[in-house]
Amino acid sequence: MSSNSALEHMISKVLFQKEAELISHIDSAYQESLNNLESSRGKLKAERTRIVEAARKQAENLKRQIVGSARLAARNQELLTIENAVNNAFEEAKKRLQASSSKDSYKELMKHIVEESISAVGGSNEVIIECNKNDAELVRKIIMSSELQSKSKVQARVSDQHIDVLGGIRIKSADGSMTYDNTLDSRIERLKPLIRKNIAQMLRGVA
pLDDT in tens, 59-85: 788 888 888 787 888 777 877 877 787
Domain that holds residue 27: 1-75
Residue 89 lies in a domain: no
Question: Are residue 115 and residue 187 in the same domain, yes or no?
Answer: yes
Residue 201 lies in a domain: no
Question: Are residue 51 and residue 118 in the same domain, yes or no?
Answer: no
Residue 106 lies in a domain: yes
Cα dihedral 12/15/19/21 (nearest 10): 120
Question: Are residue 189 and residue 105 in the same domain, yes or no?
Answer: yes
CA neighbor of 139 nearest in space, from 175, 182, 177, 99: 182
Question: Are residue 105 and residue 71 in the same domain, yes or no?
Answer: no
The tally of domains found in the chain comes to 2
Residue 87 lies in a domain: no
Question: Are residue 20 and residue 70 in the same domain, yes or no?
Answer: yes
Q: Where are the alpha helices (H) located in the chain, listed in sequence order?
A: 3-99, 104-120, 136-144, 146-151, 184-203
Question: CA-CA distance, 178 to 184, in Å (whole number)?
Answer: 19
Q: Check the CA dihedral 121-127-128-131 and report its sign.
A: positive
Per-residue confidence band for 159, with pLDDT thresholds at 50, 70 and 90: very high
Residue 114 lies in a domain: yes
Per-residue pLDDT averaged across 40-62, rounded?
76
* Strands across the sheet containing 126-130: 155-158, 126-130, 168-173, 179-183
Which of 90-94, 128-132, 133-137 shows the lowest mean pLDDT across its residues?
90-94
pLDDT in tens, 162-189: 999 888 999 998 888 889 999 988 888 8
Residue 104 lies in a domain: yes
Residue 115 lies in a domain: yes
CATH assignment of the domain containing 147: 3.30.2320.30
Average confidence score pLDDT of the chain: 79
Question: Are residue 115 and residue 42 in the same domain, yes or no?
Answer: no
Question: Are residue 124 and residue 177 in the same domain, yes or no?
Answer: yes
pTM: 0.55
Residue 45 lies in a domain: yes
